């Protein structure tokens, strides 16, 4: 698998409802540049990446093309329309990649602070294990509740990991998992959960607490701090 090509599917076709804005959060500025541009730049800088596919919302083609036109890209970036849920968007990317064979990375456009080192570790994990993702050990105590009002129980924190993207797969592993998920009507919040359901084990790779997903408004405060910290490194 060492010589196999690597393609990244960047999911940017969400609404960003939890940001409570009238626009898709992908275009919000972080230190003067749209969030999605930061994300694309990290992957574009890597020689280990062969293809970049951007999953976007219908109606946002011009906005995305304008951003790409202002960048000095090393890679050709293809734009593909996403679907209703994140899973549907990734599936559209997989359908677009029918002739591609190799390693597929999936990444959230809303995780602009991923590093080159983390991406390379996921490519290596995908090559050696077939399926992997970045994680960080849980820092908080987690409770299970059916209704959000009353706690049922507290899982053992030493066995809990917060899962991030990129997630990396041999293409056939991911395609098999997606087909099975759609047959079973299963929707997951990440790609690894679909692969787990096929019985395949997922390799967990230690990531960084800085690889946050911009999800709610206060994440922009953390984003500014992480960006400033990076500039000082
Ligand atoms: N139909 C969708 C839904 C989500 N995503 C992408 O998946 C990533 C992770 O999803 P999330 O943070 O939940 O983003 P949104 O769906 O945009 O946010 P919300 O759930 O608050 O609406 C984001 O980069 C988002 O653009 C996507 O490509 N297609
Ligand atoms: C894939 C993911 O980033 C893993 O943490 C996340 O689950 C996607 O975002 P969502 O908020 O769950 O849609």
Radius of gyration of the CA atoms of the chain, in A: 17
As a whole number of angstroms, the distance between CA 138 and CA 188 comes to 20
For residue 102, what are the CA distances in angstroms to 51, 74, 124, 135, 175?
11, 20, 12, 23, 12
Other CB atoms within 10 Å distance of the CB of residue 222: 14
CATH code of 177's domain = 3.90.550.10
Is the CB of 191 within 6 Å of ligand 1?
Answer: no
Number of domains in the chain: 1
d(CA 13, ligand 1 centre) in Å = 6
For residue 140, what pLDDT band results from cuts at 50, 70 and 90? very high
In a domain, 48, yes or no: yes
* Average pLDDT value over all residues in the chain: 96
How much of the chain exceeds pLDDT 90, in percent? 94
Digit-coded pLDDT (tens) for 180-206: 999 999 999 999 999 999 999 999 999
In a domain, 1, yes or no: no
Give the pLDDT of residue 231. Answer: 86
In a domain, 104, yes or no: yes
In a domain, 36, yes or no: yes
Domain range spanning residue 49?
6-232
Residues 6+ apart with CB under 8 A from 218: none
Residue 57: closest CA among 39, 78, 82: 82
Evaluate if residue 29 carries a pLDDT over 80.
yes
Q: Quote the ipTM score.
A: 0.97
In a domain, 127, yes or no: yes
Digit-coded pLDDT (tens) for 95-123: 999 999 999 999 999 999 999 999 999 99
The pocket around ligand 2, CB under 6 angstroms, is made up of 86, 108, 163-165, 189-190, 213, 215
pTM: 0.97
Q: Which ligand is nearest to the CA of 88?
A: 1
Structure tokens at 43: 């992957």
């Amino acid at each position: 698998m060492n010589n196999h090509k690597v393609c990244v599917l960047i999911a940017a076709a969400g609404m960003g409802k939890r940001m409570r804005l009238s626009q898709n959060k992908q275009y919000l500025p972080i230190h003067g540049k749209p969030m999605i541009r930061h994300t694309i730049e990290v992957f574009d800088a890597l020689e280990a990446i062969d293809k970049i596919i951007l999953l976007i919302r219908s109606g946002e083609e011009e906005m995305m093309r304008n951003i790409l036109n202002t960048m000095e890209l090393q890679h050709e970036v293809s734009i593909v329309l996403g679907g209703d849920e994140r899973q549907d968007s990734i599936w559209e990317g997989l359908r677009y990649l029918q002739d591609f064979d190799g390693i597929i990375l999936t990444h959230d456009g809303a995780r602009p602070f991923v590093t080159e080192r983390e991406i390379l570790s996921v490519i290596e994990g995908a090559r050696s294990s077939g399926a992997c993702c970045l994680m960080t050990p849980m820092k908080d105590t987690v409770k299970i509740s059916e209704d959000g009002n009353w706690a049922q129980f507290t899982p053992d924190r030493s066995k809990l990991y917060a899962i991030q993207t990129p997630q990396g797969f041999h293409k056939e592993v991911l395609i098999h998992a997606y087909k099975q998920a759609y047959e079973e009507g299963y929707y997951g919040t990440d790609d690894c959960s679909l692969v787990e359901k096929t019985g395949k084990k997922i390799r967990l790779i230690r990531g960084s607490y800085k690889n946050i997903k911009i999800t709610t408004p206060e994440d922009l405060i953390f984003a500014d701090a992480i960006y400033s910290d990076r500039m000082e490194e």
